[in-house]
A and B are shown apart, each in its own frame.
Chain A
Amino acid sequence: MPEKTPSETTVRPADAALGSGVGRVLLLVYGVFALSASARALVQISTHFAEAPLAYLLSAFAGLVYIAATVGLARGGPTGRRIALASCTIELLGVLAIGTLSVLDTGDFPDATVWSNFGSGYGYVPLVLPFIGLWWIHRHKPTPRDHGKG
């Protein structure tokens, strides 16, 4: 067999950090979203807050959720895992709720948050990301239990 770098061939240790492997890929993507969502909210709130206060506050909230997820993944351990689990869950509910609301009621909801139209402005990555995040956190259960939903 040709020389191959050991990654899939070696088993990932059970106590490997949450922020390594796929977790490190998630770290980059969550980091980019934390930055873009909060920077966008900052610009919106500082320049034309009065136009759509609710949407811009939601924008800021989304930014905070992404920051929390990034921190949770980077921190690791039981606490980091809990932070990541909570923020990915909120993220999933947020993108589904805001996505649905923005599709149903375009008038009240100007296209102004990362979660509008299920994140279509961001290549639907905001819709897919929480699923990958939750799957990864679920796989990272400290003690193996019976199958259930993350």
Chain B
Amino acid sequence: MNGVLSTTTIVAALVLAVWYLVRTALDRAPSRLDLIACVVLSVLVAVLVVVAVAGLFGGDRPADTGTFAGYLVTTIGLMPTALILAKMEPTRWGNLILGIGCLIVPVLVLRLQQIASVTGA
């Protein structure tokens, strides 16, 4: 797992989470900017996942490759799913959906790092 990329993703997700939670507290529906920010985070996460998948083909493979792959699928799918749900919910709760999605991203990235650090022969 790429350290710099992971850290950037985690920090970006947490900053956006605070933003979305503030927007929820202010009773705002997701604006165009909110949705674009979510797309940007989704792209960042996608890059992280692609780099991780590339790593699977060269070099150290995590001991628990199946679980690692499962987490990769979940990670890449999370923010787009949150985005679709948020677009269906043009109320403050749409922003809460995006905020919760952003809080789950760091957990997934940390789990990926944990699993990746245990390499098996």
Interfacial residues, chain A to chain B (CB-CB below 8 A): 4-5, 7-8, 20-22, 24-25, 27-29, 31-32, 35-36, 39, 43
Contacts and interface: CB of A to CB of B under 8 A. Distances in A.
Nearest to A46: B66
A35 B81 CA distance: 13
B74 A27 contact: no
Contacts of A27: 85
23 contacts: A4-B28, A5-B28, A5-B29, A7-B29, A7-B93, A21-B91, A22-B93, A24-B93, A24-B94, A24-B97, A25-B89, A25-B93, A28-B97, A28-B101, A31-B81, A32-B74, A32-B104, A35-B74, A36-B74, A39-B70, A43-B64, A43-B66, A43-B70
A24 B88 contact: yes
Given A20-B89, A31-B81, A25 B27 contact: no
B96 A25 contact: yes
A5 B29 CA distance: 6
B78 A21 contact: no
**Interface range on chain B (Cβ under 8 Å from partner):** 20 to 34
Nearest to B86: A24
Interface of B: 27-29, 64, 66-67, 70, 74, 78, 81-82, 85, 88-94, 96-97, 100-101, 104
B27 A8 contact: yes
Contact of B27 (A7, A28, A32): A7
A4 B88 CA distance: 19
B85 A28 contact: yes
A87 to B, nearest CB: 20
Contacts, number: 53
B27 to A, nearest CB: 5
B50 to A, nearest CB: 21
Contacts of A4: 27-28
Contacts of A29: 100
B29 to A, nearest CB: 4
Query: Most chain-B Cβ atoms within 10 A of its Cβ — which of A8, A28, A29?
Result: A28
B94 to A, nearest CB: 8
Given A25-B97, A28-B101, A32-B78, A8 B70 contact: no
Contacts of A20: 88-89
A24 B27 contact: no
A43 B81 contact: no
A43 B71 CA distance: 12
